[in-house]
Amino acid sequence: MTVAILALQGAFIEHAAMLDRLGAAHFEIRQRRDLDRPFDGLILPGGESTTMRKLLHDLGLFQPLREQIESGLPVFGTCAGLILLAQSVEGGAVCFGTMDIAVRRNAYGRQLGSFATVDEMRGVGRIPMTFIRAPYIAAAGPKAEVLAEVDGHIVAARQDKQLVTAFHPELNDDLSVHRYFLNMIQT
Ligand code: GLN
């Protein structure tokens, strides 16, 4: 099993470190020809969703990746990566739009958007959750399953082979969300 990590910008190295610790093979996607290598899952990291969206289009990555996600490629989006998958984006533009969720960018305000907590994620357990200028999911449609809520806001969800978290599991020691994603790829 090989996982591709979108490495245009943002916190991609941290995801690679988590996959190393889990013994999962991975490589970075930086340009179109990187898509020639076969991969079984894709991680969209945190960072700045507007910058990533622009680079995806400029580098010709948007269309092929969108097609693969629509065809069932397992994908895990954290924070900005969540925004890239959302069907509706308040405070920004839609990118892949493959997931039946409405997201609010910078939902906690610029100052309050960064905080850490410990809470329950369904199918994963109690885990540390680090939020950085985080979005939250304002609404999840019938196709999306809510996996975690913090202070009444949805912060993790799944739809078939798409997994999203508003927080950054790659910034903590706990490997369980990445393990959950690897399981999604295998089953
Ligand atoms: N605020 C960022 C955005 O809207 C997301 C922040 C993050 O990924 N840590 O793209």
Tally of CB atoms within 10 A around 65: 23
68 lines ligand 1 (CB under 6 A): no
Region of 152 on the Ramachandran plot (φ > 0 left; ψ -120 to 50 alpha; else beta): left
Q: What tens digit of pLDDT does each residue of 105-163 get?
A: 999 876 667 899 999 999 999 999 999 999 999 999 999 999 999 999 999 999 999 99
Residue 89, pLDDT > 90, answer yes
What percent of the chain has pLDDT above 90? 95
Atom of ligand 1 nearest to the CA of 79: 8
Residue with tokens 């470190």: 17
**Per-residue pLDDT tens for 29-56?**
999 999 999 999 999 999 999 999 999 9
The finding on whether 178 has its CB within 6 A of some atom of ligand 1 is no
Identify the helix (H) or strand (E) that includes residue 12.
helix 12-21
- How distant, in Å, are the alpha carbons of 30, 34, 40, 52, 85 from that of 62? 12, 13, 18, 10, 12
Q: Which residues are catalytic?
A: 79, 168, 170
Instruction: Tell me how far the alpha carbon of residue 85 lies from the centroid of ligand 1, in angstroms.
Output: 13
Buried b (16+ CB within 10 A) or exposed e, 174-186: bbbbbbbbbebbe
CA 161 → CA 114, 117, 185, distances in Å?
28, 26, 8
- Asked whether the predicted pLDDT for residue 78 surpasses 80, the reply is yes
Phi first, then psi, for residue 110 (nearest 5°) are: -60, -40
145 lines ligand 1 (CB under 6 A): no
Q: Mean pLDDT, to the nearest integer, of 57-84?
A: 98
The residues, any chain, with a CB within 8 Å of residue 79's CB and separated by 6 or more, are: 45, 46, 47, 131, 132, 134, 135, 165, 166, 167, 168
**What pLDDT sits at residue 109?**
77
Contact of 154 with 136, CB cutoff 8 Å: yes
Ligand 1 centre from 50 Cα, in Å? Answer: 9
Ligand 1 neighbourhood includes 132 CB (under 6 angstroms): yes
Q: Is the pLDDT of residue 7 over 90?
A: yes
Residue 80 Cβ inside 6 Å of ligand 1? The answer reads yes
CA of 120 from ligand 1 middle (Å) equals 22
